[in-house]
């Protein structure tokens, strides 16, 4: 497994304290910033556009980890690549089939951006197994995408174990990210199952940011 990465999700950032919380993030051990893009169609929520991403990119020295929960991932991938995304993760459920998924992976990489593919809780990642070398990351959703603050679905760890087994067996560099209901306890379970990127929103931003990031990062 690769080095463990903590990716706080700005979906849970306190927008009345943006400057203060971004300064805390910048001086924490979190290396990625998870940026949730929702179009109000693929998921029942609306969030952030490319100009907001540009602002965050100027404010923090972190990897911009952009998760597009949208019905037209081809369009949005181009938009957020131009806005400065370092990693763009789209949903398997938002493309026509596995061939379209691989074409989009290759397109995003051609833009100089790393690529991830996400699966919702009801979607098996099994179809991705022969193509993991096309992806820099697979994101396992441990809640239904759309809103923060939901409870962790422990059954999703079986997907993580399946992916970890294949990645390790083939020697791929693909990371496994998990998003949804991550805290100190569920984060430890996710790492034990094989995750190397933890997305955490409410847990990080509703407490002491430095302390919460460190609790996730240095599991006992």
Residue with tokens 């990210």: 177
Other CB atoms within a 10 A radius of the CB of residue 63 amount to 18
> CA-to-CA distance for 142 and 157, rounded, in angstroms?
8
Q: Is 78 a catalytic residue?
A: no
Contact 33, 7 (CB under 8 A): yes
Contact 106, 134 (CB under 8 A): yes
3-state secondary structure at position 92: helix
Instruction: For residue 34, give both structure tokens.
Output: 């998870």
Instruction: Out of 39, 65, 179, 196, pick the active-site residue.
Output: 179
Instruction: Out of 36, 39, 65, 136, pick the active-site residue.
Output: 36
Q: Is 179 a catalytic residue?
A: yes
CA triple 99-2-79, angle to 5 deg: 45
Active site residues: 36, 179
């Amino acid at each position: 497994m690769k080095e463990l990465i903590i990716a706080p999700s700005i979906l849970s950032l306190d927008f009345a304290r943006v400057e203060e919380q971004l300064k805390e993030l910048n001086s924490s051990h979190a290396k990625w910033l998870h940026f949730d893009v929702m179009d109000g169609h693929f998921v029942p929520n609306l969030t952030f556009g490319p100009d907001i991403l540009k602002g965050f990119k100027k404010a923090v020295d972190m990897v911009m980890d952009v998760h597009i929960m949208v019905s037209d991932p081809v369009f949005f991938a181009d938009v957020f690549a131009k806005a400065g995304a370092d990693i763009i993760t789209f949903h398997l459920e938002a493309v026509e089939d596995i061939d379209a998924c691989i074409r989009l992976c290759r397109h995003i990489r051609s833009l100089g951006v790393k690529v991830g593919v996400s699966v919702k809780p009801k979607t098996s990642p099994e179809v991705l197994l022969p193509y993991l070398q096309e992806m820099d990351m697979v994101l396992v959703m441990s809640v239904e995408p759309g809103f923060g603050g939901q409870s962790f679905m422990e059954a999703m760890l079986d997907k993580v174990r399946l992916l970890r087994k294949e990645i390790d067996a083939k020697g791929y560099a693909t990371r496994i990210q998990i998003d949804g209901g991550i805290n100190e306890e569920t984060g430890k379970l996710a790492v034990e199952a094989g995750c190397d990127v933890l997305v955490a929103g409410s847990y990080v931003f509703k407490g002491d940011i430095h302390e919460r990031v460190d609790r996730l990062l240095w599991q006992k």
